[in-house]
Structure 1
Amino acid sequence: MIKRTLYFGNPAYLKTKDEQLVFQSEDTGELKTLPIEDIGVLILDHQQLTITQALIAKLLENNVALITCDNRHHPTGMLLNLDGNSLQSRKFQAQLEASRPLKKQLWQQTISAKIENQACMLESVQIGAKNLRNWSVEVKSGDADNHEAMAAAYYWKNFFPIFPEFRRDPEGEPPNNLLNYGYAILRAIVARSLVSSGLLPTLGIFHKNQYNAYCLADDIMEPYRPFVDKVVWNIVRMNGRYLELTPDMKKQLLSVPAMDVRINEEKSPLMVAVQKTTASLAKCFEGKQRKILYPEFI
């Protein structure tokens, strides 16, 4: 069953009772409940939200990714379960002992899949991507020739026709804000699935920033980014240059976990596909298989 993504953007009191999340609106006093086991990601996006420690503990116990936002409504933090898999110690050890050649091969697969999905994204909106198709099969071990950067330069230059000077910059002008929000949701989904698969989100196969607690999540989410880009492209198409983040735009971005993708020749919601990806990565670390399962556009 696909887990739900919940968003709270108004003053409220959140607590738990009988394995349920209990939500009480400060504006109306209305009470609502939801089984905690049905939740995958929970986003707190208001400075007057109150959440009990008991609820936080229950959410993490059930492997919910808990995202907090700042006063600009930008995701700024994430809490994850520390004990997500019954064989966690063994899987940690396999991850820690992964050889450099294996990591370089896994990064090659990751970048090849990312560029292929970028090509699919562009072609879905009638933008030529023959060079991306070529680059996706030319990626070498460790992406030695930096095809990722070559593909990104072409991809973003052509991605938003009404923004011909667009540059992908987390601190840049809209629609960077929409991409940031969507990627934060995606990052939470991937980090949650890594923990569930018994892996350490901190230890990447490529990313190594000592200040980044989610290097592996940032690695594995790469081929999934074009699915977020697709949602953002549609928002831009409908709204033009008026791209301050609205509740409706957030609602569209919150649909990302339920998007249909194809993985291992089967149709699957994106959140379920991510779990298949991280499970396959754990098997690669353990020497049980050689290829990570990544999604494709349907």
Structure 2
Amino acid sequence: MIKKTLYFGNPVYLSLRNAQLVIKLPEVVKNDTLPDGFKQQSEVTKPIEDLGVVVLDNKQITITSGVLEALLENNCAIITCDSKSMPVGLMLPLYGNTTQNERFRQQLDASLPLTKQLWQQTIRIKIENQAAVLKKCAGEEVKCMAIWAADVKSGDSDNLEARAAAYYWKNLFKIERFTRDREGIPPNNLLNYGYAILRAVVARGLVASGLLPTLGIHHHNRYNAYCLADDIMEPYRPYVDELVYKILQEEINCDELTKGLKAQLLTIPTLEVVISGKRSPLMVAVGQSTASLYKCFSGELRRIIYPEM
């Protein structure tokens, strides 16, 4: 079943009743002139089990502990946003698999040659997907990207990821003064938001597969709690890039992240991808990737299953 993404950008009361998320508006609840029957009819309920990502983007949102517990028990990722409406926090369950201790040990015991090979596969698919985006969106010649993808060595010792990225960003968004930088000019703001949603989806998938999102196969920043999520999301980034490119073609002002722009970016978990020769929503595909990663750690597989554009 495809999990839903809920976004809350206005003041709202979120509570739990009969395994349902109950959504109430403060102005309705506090208005004593309204009849109780109308207040009950104005409530909206959503089954907790249907939710995969919840985004909280308002300082006046009230959410009960019961809702948080129920969401986490159902492996739902909860994203909180800062005053600029950018994702700033991510809440995930402490456990997501019945054999989690065993899986942690296998992940921790992964050999250096194995992690280097997994990173090689990851970067190779990422560059191939970037090349596909360039060809589809910008109509650019991508022979050099294909060569770089084929030449990626174990652990990407030649750092072909960076070389491909420089070529990719230069040719995808032909905007004066644009460089890929978190603090850079638009559409960096759209990319930042999209990647944050993608990161939450991948972290959720890792927890569901019984893996530690903190322990990466390549990223090892001591201050980063989601190194493995940042690793596994790499081949999925081009899907976000393609979506942002399409948004820009609509000639919408992207200087500010409006609710309309966020609504388009929040479709990322349901984007259609092709994985193992079959069409699948991105969130479901991520689950296949994280499950295959565990099998690599356990010795059942030698390759991570990634989507190909």
Query: Shorter-chain TM-score: what band?
Result: over 0.9
Q: Which residue of 1 aligns with 2:210?
A: 198
Is residue 215 of structure 1 aligned with residue 266 of structure 2? no
Unaligned runs of 5+ in 1: none
CA distance in 1 between partners of 2:75 and 2:254 (Å): 36
Which of residues 252, 265, 270 is equivalent to 2:277?
265
Which of residues 163, 170, 187 is equivalent to 2:199?
187
Query: What is the one-letter code of the residue matched to 1:145?
Result: D
Which of residues 142, 153, 158 is equivalent to 2:155?
142
User: CA shift at 1:192, angstroms?
Assistant: 0.2
Query: What is the one-letter code of the residue matched to 2:153?
Result: K
Aligned pairs, how many? 296
Q: Which residue of 1 aligns with 2:103?
A: 91
Q: Is the 8 A contact 1:236 1:243 kept in 2?
A: no
Q: Which residue of 2 aligns with 1:235?
A: 247
Which stretch of the first structure deviates more once superposed, 185-194 or 152-161? 152-161
Query: What is the one-letter code of the residue matched to 2:15?
Result: K
Q: 1:217-243: CA deviations, max 9, x gaps?
A: 000000000000111111111125543
User: CA shift at 1:127, angstroms?
Assistant: 2.1
CA distance in 2 between partners of 1:257 and 1:251 (Å): 12
Q: Which residue of 1 aligns with 2:301?
A: 289
Q: What TM-score, normalized to structure 1?
A: 0.97
Q: Which residue of 2 aligns with 1:8?
A: 8
Identity of aligned residues (%): 58
Q: CA RMSD in A?
A: 1.0
1:61-210 map, 5 Å = 61-125=73-137, 126-161=139-174, 163-210=175-222
In structure 2, relative to structure 1, the CA distance for the partners of 1:242 and 1:215 (3 Å cut) is closer
Query: What is the one-letter code of the residue matched to 1:234?
Result: K
User: CA shift at 1:172, angstroms?
Assistant: 1.4
User: CA shift at 1:283, angstroms?
Assistant: 0.1
Is residue 18 of structure 1 aligned with residue 11 of structure 2? no
CA distance in 2 between partners of 1:102 and 1:164 (Å): 42
CA distance in 2 between partners of 1:131 and 1:18 (Å): 57
Higher alpha-carbon Rg: 2
Query: What is the one-letter code of the residue matched to 2:26?
Result: E
Runs of 4+ in 1 over 2 A off after TM superposition: 26-30, 239-243
User: CA shift at 1:124, angstroms?
Assistant: 0.6
Q: Is the 8 A contact 2:187 2:254 kept in 1?
A: no
Query: What is the one-letter code of the residue matched to 1:129?
Result: V
Q: Is the 8 A contact 1:263 1:295 kept in 2?
A: yes
Q: What TM-score, normalized to structure 2?
A: 0.94
Query: What is the one-letter code of the residue matched to 2:246?
Result: N
Q: 1:256-277: CA deviations, max 9, x gaps?
A: 1111111011111100000000
